Amino acid sequence: MIIEFGHFALILALLVAAFQTVVPAWGARVNDGRLMRVAEPAAVSQLFLLLIAFCALMHAYVTSDFSVANVAINSHSTKPLIYKISGVWGNHEGSMLLWVLILALFGAAVAVFGNNLPATLKANVLAVQASIALAFLLFIVLTSDPFARLAQPPADGNGLNPILQDPALAFHPPFLYTGYVGFSIAFSFAVAALIEGRVDAAWARWVRPWTLAAWMFLTIGIAMGSWWAYYELGWGGWWFWDPVENASFMPWLAGTALLHSALVMEKREALKVWTILLAILTFSLSLMGAFIVRSGVLTSVHSFAVDPERGVFILGILVVFTGGALALFALRAKDMRFGGLFAPISREGSLVFNNLLLVTSTATVLIGTLYPLLLEATTGDKISVGPPFFNMTFGPLMLPLLLAMPFGPLLAWKRGDVLAAAQRLMFAAMAAVVVLAVAYAAFERGPWIAPFGIALGAFVMFGAVTEWATRIKLGTAQFDEVARRAVNLPRSNYGTLLAHFGIGLMVVGIVATTAYQQERILVMKPGDTVEIGGFELAFKGAVPGRGPNYREDIAQFDVTRGGAAVTRLEPSKRLYDAPPQPTTESGIHASWRGDLYVVIGDEQTPGSYAVRAYFNPLVRFIWLGALIMFVGGGISLSDRRLRVGAPRKSRRSAPIAAE
């Protein structure tokens, strides 16, 4: 009964979404308060109903109810409880249900917390939000029903793909989806502003924190996915420029741009039109990500043609929302009043620079991701655009962005002084030069350019600290004054410091591990040793083991460094019971210098195994950087103040460039 009740709740949610799309928008048009007010209970009801549906499906998973087709196909009775739960969103139908649930969560949050929003804006925002929910609920009910039943429940389910049975991946989709879907709020606000033909002062005040929240979750979601790929897939890599990864990376890049332009808008009422456009593009990229991942075009354009129902549906959603919003933008944007003015060299100007580079790099990734698909669709040729393309295009775009990054926060609003900023960054630049020298000394081999990359990352880190030091007058004021300033400094500034510092740390990790990774591939018999990254690895042999739903061969390696025992690594090869698939579990020894990473392959002759060992210098910095960015976002989010940017007064009546 619970299943069917959940199914009914899902369908009722669909109708409530239709109601919430039509009535409040109509109310906003004819300026009727009662019609507009239905949006609030409707948004909350939608969340309530989808929560019922989601819990019903989760209940079916936890109790292994194989009369539900979705459970029979994706679960198995012997799976540990945590993977029964994560199995709910480990498949197409369940993940779409999670998607609309998070969408409803955001909509309800606007309804409940949006008391200070003008009534028409709120009604329009909730109507647009509901129209997105309506589209996806239709998609679920018509093509991807998670509650379809089986007449003859099978004895047991097919099981969840073993490589997905992993703690990091269990919680990767909810974070990622919270990020994707969070941008829907910015989108709904943008479309509502276009419908109204004006941008309220409350607009940016709302869009900035919601965008920040979405960005935080997307950051940590992508980082979790990358970390999972690193230790689970057993290739020793952390990013593959795979279309699925790019699908989440593009909204992140556009979302980062949106975050910065929304900041300008809140503080200075400038860049209004641009921010609206970015909000539309960011969410459209999220939708495109859903399309790419969910439609099956990735495996092959032809598999999309074989079962087009779902793919065409999502493509339709993508076209309607992106196309509709952009058409509205084209129609209305010219009527929007432009906001504040500022000089090219100013905080605003630096953020425009940041936006241009981020949007260009988004476009680069977009081309690299879609071009092979388009080519295959038109000519049938299968090509793969791999890391070389992205390294050649994306890398150079990041260079000026990273170089300019420390300057931005040091420039004043409205009109800035780039020389003064450069002077303040002297210390950071000198520290980066020291890092450059140290990098050359530490890594005698490797490409000549790599130490410069590490120094650049260090420059970004030191630059972030410089900005903070300048604000608290470190080194120029008394200690009391410095301490007082450090305590009084708004949390939003600490957020900026941490986010920028995290980026720098990540750059250092990326460059070091890309340029200086060491790799050994060999066949080892028990008793063999291999030397890598300053460690000696001694293979002791492999023993069989048994987990809750898999059998494994566990290889044992004793790790020593200069004769002293360091650790024992136990990489393994697992064979899952259902579905019977092998996975590799890597053995990783993490240290500040880098990771020692060992995986075993097939048994070659009895007792001897193919072994791949890597040393990945500073690889942890990548995820540590992402974590610091996440924390920085959280600290900034906890700062509920309105953001006001004080303009620099003009010394004389200098001509001011327009936006």
Partner 1 sequence: MLFWLAVAVLAAAVTFAVTRPLLQDDKRSDETSSADVAVYKDQLLEIVADRDRGVMSDGEADAARTEIARRLLRQVDRAGGTAANKPGAGRTRGVNTTPVFFAASLALPLASLGLYVTYGEPGRPAQPLSQRLAAPAAGASTNDLIAKVEATLQKNPQDGRGWDVIAPVYLAEGRASDAASAYATAMRLLGENASRLQGFADARIRAENGVVPDDAKVALKALLTAEPQRREPRIWLALAKEQDGDRAGAAADYRALLAEAPKDAPWRQAIEERLQLVERGPVADAPSTPAKPGSATVDARAAEVAAMTPEQRDAMIASMVTGLAERLKSEKTDLIGWQKLIRAYQVLGRKDDVAKALTDARTGLAGDEARLRELEDWVKQLGLSG
Contact (CB, 8 A) for 515 and 446: yes
Query: Quick check: 501 binds partner 1 (CB under 8 A)?
Result: no
Query: Quick check: 634 binds partner 1 (CB under 8 A)?
Result: no
Query: Quick check: 582 binds partner 1 (CB under 8 A)?
Result: no
Query: Quick check: 117 binds partner 1 (CB under 8 A)?
Result: yes
Strand-strand pairing, 564-569 and 518-524: unpaired
Whole-Å CA distances, 553 to 228, 461, 578: 21, 43, 17
Q: What is the Cα 617 distance to its own chain's centre?
A: 24
CB nearer to partner 1: give 200 or 376. Answer: 200
Query: Quick check: 375 binds partner 1 (CB under 8 A)?
Result: no
Q: What is the Cα 358 distance to its own chain's centre?
A: 15
Record the tokens describing residue 575, joined without a space: 């064979």
According to CB under 8 A, which residues from 47 to 86 bind partner 1?
Answer: 48-49, 52, 59-60, 63-67, 77-78
CB nearer to partner 1: give 115 or 379. Answer: 115
The 331-360 site mask, x for binding partner 1 (CB under 8 A), equals ---------x--------------------
In the complex, what is the shortest distance from the CB of residue 266 to partner 1, in angstroms, rounded to a whole number? Answer: 9
Applying CB under 8 A, which part among 44-52, 232-240, 242-250, 448-456 lies near partner 1?
Answer: 44-52
Record the tokens describing residue 61, joined without a space: 């998973």
Query: Quick check: 120 binds partner 1 (CB under 8 A)?
Result: yes
Considering only CA atoms, which of 179, 221, 208, 313 is closest in space to residue 271? 208
Query: Quick check: 160 binds partner 1 (CB under 8 A)?
Result: no
In the complex, what is the shortest distance from the CB of residue 109 to partner 1, in angstroms, rounded to a whole number? Answer: 17
User: Contacting partner 1 (CB under 8 A), which of 25, 42, 411, 626?
Assistant: 42
CB nearer to partner 1: give 603 or 639. Answer: 639
Total of chain residues touching partner 1, rule CB under 8 A: 79
Residue 315 has a CB neighbour count (10 Å cut-off) of 17
Query: Quick check: 25 binds partner 1 (CB under 8 A)?
Result: no
How many alpha carbons fall within 13 Å on the CB side of residue 229?
Answer: 15
In the complex, what is the shortest distance from the CB of residue 411 to partner 1, in angstroms, rounded to a whole number? Answer: 14
Rounded-to-5 percentages of helix, strand, coil across the chain = 65, 10, 25
Query: Quick check: 118 binds partner 1 (CB under 8 A)?
Result: yes
Query: Quick check: 15 binds partner 1 (CB under 8 A)?
Result: yes
Burial of 1 per CB tally in 10 Å (0-12, 13-18, 19+): exposed
Cα dihedral 304→305→306→310 (10° resolution):
50
Query: Quick check: 116 binds partner 1 (CB under 8 A)?
Result: yes
According to CB under 8 A, which residues from 200 to 239 bind partner 1?
Answer: 200-202, 205
CB nearer to partner 1: give 263 or 439. Answer: 263
How many alpha carbons fall within 13 Å on the CB side of residue 368?
Answer: 26
How far apart, in whole angstroms, are the C-alpha atoms of residue 151 and residue 67?
Answer: 7
In the complex, what is the shortest distance from the CB of residue 519 to partner 1, in angstroms, rounded to a whole number? Answer: 36
Beta strands in 440-571 (DSSP E): 518-524, 529-532, 535-546, 550-561, 564-569
Helix (H) or strand (E) holding 502, with range, is: helix 491-516
Considering only CA atoms, which of 461, 198, 142 is closest in space to residue 312? 142
Query: Quick check: 384 binds partner 1 (CB under 8 A)?
Result: no
Query: What one-letter code names the amino acid at 306?
Result: V
Query: Quick check: 470 binds partner 1 (CB under 8 A)?
Result: no
In the complex, what is the shortest distance from the CB of residue 151 to partner 1, in angstroms, rounded to a whole number? Answer: 6
Query: Quick check: 11 binds partner 1 (CB under 8 A)?
Result: yes
According to CB under 8 A, which residues from 234 to 293 bind partner 1?
Answer: 269
CB nearer to partner 1: give 36 or 297. Answer: 36
According to CB under 8 A, which residues from 475 to 494 bind partner 1?
Answer: 484-485, 488-490
How far apart, in whole angstroms, are the C-alpha atoms of residue 279 and residue 258?
Answer: 6
User: Contacting partner 1 (CB under 8 A), which of 21, 25, 38, 295?
Assistant: 38
Query: Quick check: 9 binds partner 1 (CB under 8 A)?
Result: yes
Contacts of 292 (CB under 8 A, 6+ apart): 243, 244, 247, 298, 369
In the complex, what is the shortest distance from the CB of residue 80 to partner 1, in angstroms, rounded to a whole number? Answer: 14
Query: Quick check: 642 binds partner 1 (CB under 8 A)?
Result: yes
In the complex, what is the shortest distance from the CB of residue 142 to partner 1, in angstroms, rounded to a whole number? Answer: 9
CB nearer to partner 1: give 197 or 534. Answer: 197
Query: Quick check: 110 binds partner 1 (CB under 8 A)?
Result: no
Applying CB under 8 A, which part among 79-87, 152-160, 353-361, 436-444 lies near partner 1?
Answer: 152-160
Contact (CB, 8 A) for 106 and 132: no
Query: Quick check: 20 binds partner 1 (CB under 8 A)?
Result: yes
How many alpha carbons fall within 13 Å on the CB side of residue 31?
Answer: 1
